[in-house]
């Protein structure tokens, strides 16, 4: 998939959710997004709206989803939380 989201946005949202989210079994959860990382911290994940984003080496990411609507809902949440993080 084409990189629609820049690295700064992904990492800002991840950090914001980690800082402000509520702890769950999967990770930190904030306004419909869950943020967590693998055991060594090299790969971070954002999950919500039926989408899992995997972000890793070389500033690349991959989205797993079944329907385009899920992707658009997920991207809207990313955008909303990014705006909160930038305030």
Determine the pLDDT at residue 68.
95
Assess whether pLDDT exceeds 60 at residue 75. yes
pTM of the model: 0.91
52 and 63 Cβ atoms separated by less than 8 Å: yes
Determine the pLDDT at residue 3.
52
Secondary structure letter of residue 59 according to DSSP = G
Query: Distance between CA 79 and CA 26 in Å, rounded?
Result: 22
Assess whether pLDDT exceeds 80 at residue 4. no
């Amino acid at each position: 998939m084409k990189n629609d989201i820049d690295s700064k946005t992904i990492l800002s949202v991840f950090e914001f959710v980690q800082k402000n989210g509520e702890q769950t079994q999967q990770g930190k959860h904030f306004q419909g997004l869950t943020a967590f990382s693998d055991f060594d911290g090299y790969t971070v994940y954002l999950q919500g709206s039926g989408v899992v984003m995997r972000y890793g080496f070389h500033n690349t990411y991959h989205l797993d989803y079944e329907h385009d609507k899920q992707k658009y809902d997920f991207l809207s949440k990313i955008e909303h939380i990014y705006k909160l993080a930038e305030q």
